Amino acid sequence: MSTVGPGEATELWLRWKRAHELVRAAVIAETTAASGLSEPELGVLVCLHESGGSLRQNALAATLGWDRTRLSHLLTRMGERGYVARDKVPNGVEVTLSPAGRHLIDATLPALETATRRHLLDRLGPDDAKTLRALIDRLLPAEE
């Protein structure tokens, strides 16, 4: 399937990793400066927002690719800050955006959109975003 030769695969991997790290760092720096959120908090709030405001804690951990213990500790801190609520439900825990968390993510999304455009989309050609989406979709598991 690939026409990449020996050694070129490693070079491509390193270039992709470097590009990802540079874009990610720039987007996160701008977004967290505008919102006061940490990167992990931003990730949780975006996932909850995209899911309609609530998710099972184990589904949230899977979506973020995090260990359940790491997520649990973060959710405790976010609950103390008033961003999320956790409720026991049959066979698990439901995590829900609180009104303050919903307000915060709604206020933060424009900064995230602007930073993503500036550091990613504006650097691509007119058809590149569609191509990039198609490539990412092929790399992600089918359920995503």
- State residue 125's pLDDT score: 87
In angstroms, the CA 74 to CA 17 distance is: 26
**What is the pTM for the complete model shown?**
0.85
Q: Which residues of the chain have pLDDT under 70?
A: 1-2, 4-6, 143-144
In angstroms, the CA 3 to CA 6 distance is: 10
- State residue 52's pLDDT score: 96
- State residue 3's pLDDT score: 72
- State residue 141's pLDDT score: 82
